[in-house]
Amino acid sequence: REPLVTVRNLKKYYPIRSGFLGRKNKAIKAVDNISFDLKKGETFGLVGESGCGKSTTGRMLMMLTDPTEGTITFEGKNMLNLKGEQLRKERRSFQMIFQDPYASLNPKMTIRAIIEEPLIIHGFKEKEERSNRVDELMKLVGLNQDQADRHAHEFSGGQRQRIGIARALALNPQLIIADEPVSALDVSIQAQIVNLLQDLQKKLGLTYLFISHDLSIIEHISDRIAVMYLGNIVELSTKTDLYAQPLHPYTQALISAIPRPDPLDKREKIVLKGDIPSPENPPAGCPFHTRCPKALDKCRVEKPILSEKQSEHFVACHLYTQP
C-alpha cells in the first residue's frame, strides 16, 4: 500500500529554564525525532504509557500543536508549510475523534447543530444540503434521526462518541486521528464503538491513526503498530509480528502484562523496576536503560537508533546491533 501521510523527523520540544537565574536552557523532549508512514486504508496503532508523546504526535498531525522540527507530507505537500486558504482546504482531510465525548461536545447544542457545525464553517451554504448530510451521517454511525433535535447531554457515553464520529466524518476526511476514543466508555460499549470504526473504515476507505495505552484494543484494531517510550518510537512493526515476537524489552514487558483469560497461558509477567523517568530529566543513552532488565554497559551512554531487524520490523535496541 502507498503512504497517505509521511511523517519525518518530527520533534516537539518545550523549552524550560533551569539553573542559576534560569541561564541553563533545557527542553522537555515530548516527541524526539520520530518518523513513520500512514498507509492508505490501514489502522496504525500508537501505543505507550501516559506522557510518552503519543497524544502530542496526534495533535501535531492535526496541526493543533506546532512541531519544533520535522515534516508531515500529505499528497506531496508538507502540511507544515501551508498557510491560509490552502491549509484550511487540506486540513479538512484530517479529522480527530477525542478521548472524552463528554468534554468534547457542547451540551447546549442539539445533535444536528453539532454535526452541522463543520459544514457551516467550511462554507456549505445550502441549508437543505446540510440537513440531508446530517441525516446521512447519523444513519452512518447508527444514530436514530428522530433524535437530531435533542441535546448532547441527554445521550449516553457510547452515543455521544457516535455523535463525535459523525461530526468528524462530516467533511469526508481521509485520515481519522482517534486519541483514546473508547477509554472513557464502559467495556461493553467499547466493543460497539471499535466495531463501528472498523465498519466505517471498510465503507469509506478511511485511514486511522489509533492512539491508546491499551494493548488489547491496539491488538484488536491495528494493522501496524508503533510503541512509544519517553518521546521515542522504540519498536515499529506489523501487528502480527509485534505480538508474536516483540523485540524491544519494553514491548516485551507491556505484552507480558496483558491479562490472559486462558489459565493454561503461563507466559511470565515481566515486572519493570522503577517508574518512567521525568521527561524533564531523561536518561542519557537508551531512554529505557533505567528500567531495562537486559541493559548493557553501552546502553547508558549510546542511544540506539530505530533500524530494521526483520522485514518491516524496526527496533531501537542495542541487543540487535552488531558489536
Binding site residues, ligand SF4, CB under 6 A: 248-249, 286, 288-289, 292, 294-296, 299, 304, 317-319
Which residue lies nearest Mg ion, judged by its C-beta?
Answer: 55
Strand partners, 175: 94, 207
CB of 43 to Mg ion, least distance (A): 18
SS3 for 252?
helix
Of Mg ion, ligand SF4, none, which one does residue 60 interact with (CB within 5 to 8 Å by kind)?
none
Q: Choose between 113 and 319: whose C-beta lies nearer to ligand SF4.
A: 319
CB of 235 to ligand SF4, least distance (A): 10
- Sign of the Cα torsion 130, 136, 140, 146 reads positive
Residue position matching grid coordinates 491488538 = 219
Q: Choose between 295 and 306: whose C-beta lies nearer to ligand SF4.
A: 295
Q: H or E segment at 76?
A: none
Do strands 207-212 and 175-179 pair parallel, antiparallel, or not at all (unpaired)?
A: parallel
Q: Choose between 45 and 249: whose C-beta lies nearer to ligand SF4.
A: 249
Alpha helices in the chain (DSSP H): 54-61, 84-91, 101-104, 111-121, 127-140, 157-169, 187-204, 215-221, 239-244, 249-256
Q: Choose between 194 and 286: whose C-beta lies nearer to ligand SF4.
A: 286
Q: Which position among 12, 53, 55, 61 is part of the footprint of Mg ion (CB under 5 A)? A: 55
Phi-psi label, residue 320: left if phi above 0, alpha if psi -120 to 50, beta otherwise: alpha
CB of 281 to ligand SF4, least distance (A): 17
CB of 114 to Mg ion, least distance (A): 23
Residues of this chain that bind Mg ion (CB under 5 A): 55
